[in-house]
Structure 1
Amino acid sequence: MIKRLFAALLVLTPMSIQAHEPVPATIVVAFDRDTITPLIVEGIADRATGREVEPNDPVRIASISKLIMALATLRLVDEGKVALDADVSDYLGWQVRSPGFPDAAVTLAQLLSHRAGLRDTAGYVIPLGESLEAKLAEPEAWFADAPPGEAPFEYANLGSPVVATALEAATGESYDAIVERTVFAPLGAEGCLNWIGCSEEQVARAVVLYRDTGEIARDDPADVPPNCTIPVAGGTECSLDGYVPGTNASIFSPQGGVRIGMMDLAKIGQQFLQSVDDNFLTEKSTWALFSSIFLKHEDQSFFCSYGLALQSIDNSNGRCEDNLFPDGRIRIGHAGEAYGLRSGLWMDVRAGNGIAYFTTAVPPRQSAEDEGGFDPREIALMARAEALLNQQSSD
């Protein structure tokens, strides 16, 4: 009987192994002010080829892109190109107004803090060939009951194209060039938006995003250069040759389209652990960024402390669904979620360290009401990372 069972196991084992789903691509990188260390590197970057993920393979980091946008904005504030409290209409050359409040200005600070009264109800992807100005003229794009600045916090992706387009109009540069000049290049990080500007070598290492069903979601070979990588309206050629900066930076997906590896994302995280002495941001802009997280949103279950695209977590004493790390220490940063991916860049400024991570093929939320909060897989991943860090410190 035992021999027959053993023989059956020998026959079934290869089939069982083949039946297993590939390990989702997952990277966790720890960093402090001086060092960057891969902690967890596992899974398949491209299931079609079996290519395993490597520590700095570029991935779409989703809404962490908004934090990079905030840094680019503040760099331009320090250059004197824009002001956080100026009316963005002054940069764009056309009026940005909530239909019910035509006298209320919309500012970069409001947009970055999700207090401009914008909503995603009307959609937030404006393809090449369509008009950002026309999108903002739709009443469904706005909160109807309060003016910008007084409207309640509502996380809205639509604000990001407005910010990015205003930055373009103020500088005459395209948004991807702005981010490269003000953030990536100064910090020695390789990154790009919608694959525009990424090298062939980076594109070859793209992490394909899969849904939990195994379906391809983004960035398979058909979704990267030389194929079209930007949203394009029907009948419009997929070309940036005639694009005029300051008209529709939504084509760069500023709300979530940054592609970057975790080792390079950690370089951006290190900036939050440095002093103002390195001159990346002036003391005034540094204070504006860090102090913004003291904005409290009592009606939020996740974005309880959120300012200029910067969030504070694990400081809510149970009031918020933001307990990602088992130690409960206060961290600042931003989360990402899209196309089956969860990602995060979180810094413990007092301890002088941080974590950059992503994991893929995460199941979607179960209902429309299940909004905000970290996925159990993220929480388990951070517990695993912390255990590895504790082990390394005790060795």
Structure 2
Amino acid sequence: MARVLSGLLAVFWMSLAQARTGALEHELEAVVHDTAMPLSSLSVLAIRSGQLDFSYQSGARQMGAGAGAVDAHTLYRIASVSKMVTAMGVMKLIEQGKLDLDSDISRYLGYSLRNPAFPDLAITLRMLLSHTSSLRDGAGYYWAGSTTLRSVVTRATPAMWSSMAAPGQYFTYANLNWGIIGTIMEQVTGERFDLLMQRLLLQPMGISGGYYPARFSDAELANLATLYRKRTTDTEVWDSAGAWLAQADEPGVALRSAASVPASYQPGQNATLFSPTGGLRISAHGLGQLMLMLIQRGQYQGRTILEPASIRLMFSQQWLSDGRNGDTEQGQYGSWGLGGQRFGMLENGRDRLVEDSAFHAVGHLGEAYGLLSTFAVDLERGNGMVVLIGGVGRDPALHPGRYSALTCSEERILTALYRHITRPTQP
């Protein structure tokens, strides 16, 4: 009798799990095909209690007849979530004694880097990682060809600096911080940024992709998703009834030479060529591997990738909005660590991800070329979510979220994953 009851109970729980998964897949499919803002493709996964619990994909890697379907290993250009991954590489170099958070970065660059309005104040790696460096994106944050970073950042261009906020005093999200961080990483190791990140992080974990598609294998290029919008790239005019238009990683656009790295390039000249700020191509599965490593306190398949202290430090609070000490971008940013955001830290704030305001997590968001990405993990409970949207069919600014600074599509996806998978079990 006991065996019979045990068997019946197992069947019951299996049926319940299948029903839950089916309901979640139905909700996600409805978001993908919502005529208000259709999505070109979607790849998500959810981790519960330190175990992969759910994975779902919809759409094709490229538009057109014969294009292959997206799978869990399809690579996406994940935009600013790349910053968090770059920061993991920084933490590894700190462990090795090659970098220090509070030293003047001029010692690493080999030349003086100062805000012209505050020439006596040093800029540190901690400031770069927490977006409090006083650098701004007004003069750009990517320079191609043989341009050196030194020639750009030492010009004292007014648009590159805050004239009001001293280094360390004010939060403003700036992509330029990461171009400098990547260049510093090259300087202290003598290695090109993309190859360095492979050595420090991606190869030891067996993660496909990287920051430089020109070095990808044929298999990686074949499973790379094109990013789309129903918007022209030159006039920025949306046409929701029109065709999907490729925005990035379009097939046949010579991705093997897309970064235009000169043959004479020397590490430490200009790491913006590899886009430490947003150029990582990685899959939902690969991001899930990184998430499991963080949950497992730096361990992955028997190898130590990061020390537990490094992970605690990386996501520890470095900045918290008090309403006057930073630009929150309409409430999107409330608290920041070293290369990662801390979500849901403001009471009734728009820095949350899901409808439940009690959900707190760390990670990063991304948005570029139609892609919308989320990496969010509750390290204490071992629960997390990865969302990669390959493109949007309508102007997302016209479809904002109800309770967050995200789009309505992102809110629906994340709240569905949270409700079905990652919400903590009630005691």
Structure 2 residue identity aligned to 1:380: R
Deviation digits for residues 229-261 of structure 1 (CA, Å, limit 9, x no counterpart): 21xxxxxxx344211000100000111000001
- 2:98 alignment partner, SS class: coil
Deviation at 1:23, TM superposition (A): 5.4
Alignment length (residue pairs): 362
Q: Deviations along 1:68-101, whole A, 9 cap, x unmatched?
A: 1110001001111111112111111111111122
2:112 aligns to what?
95
Determine whether 1:377 maps to 2:404: no
For residues 20-99 of structure 1, the aligned pairs below 5 Å read 24-32=40-48, 35-49=51-65, 50-99=67-116
After TM superposition, give the deviation of residue 294 of structure 1 in Å.
5.3
CA contact (8 A) 1:22 1:43 kept: no
Deviation at 1:286, TM superposition (A): 2.9
Distance 1:121 1:32, change over 3 A: same
* Residue in 2 that maps onto 1:327: 356
Aligned: 1:258 with 2:275:
no
Check if 1:171 corresponds to 2:189.
yes
What are the equivalent positions in structure 2 for 1:1-395 lying under 5 Å apart?
A: 24-32=40-48, 35-49=51-65, 50-136=67-153, 137=155, 138-150=157-169, 152-213=170-231, 214-226=244-256, 228-230=257-259, 238-275=260-297, 279-291=304-316, 293=317, 295-299=319-323, 300=328, 301-318=331-348, 320-328=349-357, 329-362=359-392, 363-366=394-397, 373-389=405-421
Aligned counterparts of 2:136 and 2:385: Cα–Cα separation in 1: 30
Question: Quick check: 1:39–1:385 contact (8 Å CA) kept in 2?
Answer: no
Letter in 2 for 1:199: S
CA shift in 2, pair 1:114/1:294, >3 Å: closer
Q: Is the 8 A contact 2:146 2:265 kept in 1?
A: no
Distance in 1 of aligned mates of 2:51 and 2:274: 31
Unaligned runs of 5+ in 1: 1-16, 231-237
> Is the 8 Å Cα contact of residues 62 and 226 (structure 2) preserved in structure 1?
yes
Please tell me whether the aligned partners of residues 50 and 383 of structure 2 are also in contact (alpha carbons under 8 angstroms): no
Worse-matched range after superposition: 188-197 or 104-113 = 188-197
Identity over aligned pairs, percent? 30
Give yes or no for contact 1:57–1:206 (8 Å, CA) kept in 2.
yes
**Pairwise CA RMSD of aligned residues?**
2.7
Give secondary structure in 2 for the equivalent of 1:52.
coil
- Which moved further from structure 2: 157-166 or 269-278? 269-278
Q: Deviations over 1:294-343 (max 9, x none)?
A: 5202332111111211111123221x312322333111100011111110
The residue type paired with residue 145 of structure 1 is: M
Cα distance in 2 for partners of 1:240, 1:286 equals 35
Q: How far apart are the structure 1 equivalents of 2:98 and 2:356? A: 41
Say if 1:284 and 1:388 are closer, same or farther in 2 by CA, change over 3 A: closer
Q: TM-score, normalised by structure 2?
A: 0.79
Q: 1:174 to 1:130 in 2, by over 3 A?
A: same
Kept after mapping to 2: 8 A contact 1:312/1:331: yes
CA distance 1:364–1:120, shift in 2 (3 Å)? farther
Change beyond 3 A, Cα 1:190–1:32: farther
3-state SS of 1:333 partner:
strand
Q: Given that residues 210 and 339 in structure 1 are in contact (C-alpha distance below 8 angstroms), is that contact kept between their aligned partners in structure 2? A: yes
Q: Distance in 1 between matches of 2:225 and 2:372?
A: 13
Could you tell me how far 1:107 is from its partner in structure 2?
1.3
* Whole-Å separation in 2 of the counterparts to 1:94 and 1:274: 39
Q: Which structure 2 segments of 5+ residues have no match?
A: 1-32, 232-243
- Alpha-carbon distance, 1:385 to partner: 2.4
> Structure 1 residues 20, 94: CA separation in 2 closer, same or farther (over 3 Å shift)?
closer
Which range moves more in the overlay, 238-247 or 54-63? 238-247
Instruction: Please say if residues 39 and 390 of structure 2, whose CA atoms lie closer than 8 Å, have aligned partners that are also in contact.
Output: no
Greater Cα offset, 294-303 or 258-267: 294-303
Q: 1:97 to 1:222 in 2, by over 3 A?
A: farther
